[in-house]
């Protein structure tokens, strides 16, 4: 087993770091990561006080009484290309990434 990597046109080897987890306890639901992800991997959800997940949009008012807080989630991890744009822009260091094994 070794890390999956590709060879760029420059000849440089690049090892994609695929998204593994978002720390919901640290996430403030700011949506920065959602805006930079080029692959539609992420989805913002609302958590109510019973832990239920509700559909929300980035434009929803935080004062909405249906949920306690908004958090980012991984909705389509299979679409991730491992670019790490999400973690580089996250102000709360919520992301965990890892190389794929081949
Ligand atoms: S690593 Fe890139 S493709 Fe994957 S979730 Fe983050 S921004 Fe999207
Ligand atoms: S950038 Fe970080 S804090 Fe903001 S929504 Fe994404 S994971 Fe949460």
Kindly state whether residue 13 falls inside one of the protein's structural domains. Answer: no
Kindly state whether residue 90 falls inside one of the protein's structural domains. Answer: yes
Residue nearest to atom 4 of ligand 1 (CA): 80
Strand (E) or helix (H) holding 54: strand 53-55
What pLDDT is attached to residue 64?
57
Average pLDDT estimate for 18-35: 97
The CATH code of the domain that includes 64 is 3.30.70.20
Place of tokens 């913002």: 44
Kindly state whether residue 62 falls inside one of the protein's structural domains. Answer: yes
pTM score of the predicted model? 0.92
The pocket around ligand 1, CB under 6 angstroms, is made up of 19, 36-39, 41-42, 80-86
Ligand nearest to C-alpha 42: 1
Rounded to an integer, what distance in angstroms lies between the CA atom of residue 20 and that of residue 45? 18
Kindly state whether residue 74 falls inside one of the protein's structural domains. Answer: yes
Q: What 3-state class would DSSP assign to 62?
A: coil
Place of tokens 């679409």: 79
Q: Is the predicted pLDDT of residue 40 greater than 90, yes or no?
A: yes
C-alpha 18 – ligand 1 centre gap (Å):
7
Angle at 100 between CA 102 and CA 97, to 5 degrees: 165
What pLDDT is attached to residue 65?
64
For 43-69, the pLDDT digits (tens) are 999 999 898 999 887 777 766 568 889
Instruction: Say how many domains are in the chain.
Output: 1
DSSP state of 79: G
């Amino acid at each position: 087993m070794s890390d999956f990597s590709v060879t760029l046109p420059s000849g440089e080897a690049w090892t994609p770091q695929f998204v593994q987890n978002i720390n919901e306890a640290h996430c403030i639901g700011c949506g920065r990561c959602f805006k930079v992800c080029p692959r539609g991997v992420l989805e913002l959800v609302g958590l109510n006080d019973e832990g239920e997940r509700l559909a929300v949009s980035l434009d929803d008012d935080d004062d909405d009484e249906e949920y306690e807080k908004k958090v980012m989630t991984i909705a389509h991890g299979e679409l991730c290309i491992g670019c790490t744009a999400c973690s580089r822009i996250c102000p709360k260091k919520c992301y965990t990434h890892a190389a794929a094994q081949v």
